[in-house]
Amino acid sequence: MRVVAGSRKGIPLKSLQGTDTRPTSDKVKESIFNIIGPYFDGGVAVELFGGSGSLSLEALSRGVDEAFIFEKNAKACAIIKANAEKCRFTEELRIHRADARNAEKVLQATQKKVKLLFIDPPYAEIAFYDLARDFAEADLLTDNAVIVCEHDKQLVLPESYASYHKIKSSVYGNSAVSIYEK
């Protein structure tokens, strides 16, 4: 696993061993960014269920100004921190050792709007994807925000979350990616 493109292209990333996290493969990550836009001019990214932090680090490498990662596993947080240091993104990346369901409160306190929201829980629990709706209803997303949900290919996500509608859904092996825009 590595940073695929941008200012930190090619930097290898670590991930937690075992089945506690499910890192996004380079192929899937590259496909996601080809769909949502290969490069960005600023903005804030949020990654719920951070794992290795790979998606946020990729977004930062491609031009996002700041990223917030929510991960409750202490060992995964240590991996994310090491990856951020390796990529020299310690100032731009905010790691919160917290349940993803607390992200809404944390972000409301910052008064920042989210341009990219990544939701990738390591389990097939559809309720965790409803966090997309919660973010939209709490007015935490920019008008041009993109919501990216990575999930098991057997899990069918809704066609919309609040005013965000599914624009694309692709399958990659056992995983699927659903992308939502306003």
E-assigned strand segments in the chain: 44-48, 66-70, 93-96, 114-119, 141-152, 160-161, 164-172, 175-181
Tens of pLDDT, residue by residue over 138-182, are 999 999 999 999 998 999 899 999 999 999 999 998 889 999 999
Q: Which of 167, 3, 165, 180 is nearest to 83 (CA)?
A: 3
Task: Please give the CATH architecture assigned to the domain spanning 26-181.
Answer: 3-Layer(aba) Sandwich (3.40)
Choose the weakest-confidence range: 9-23, 25-39, 164-178: 9-23
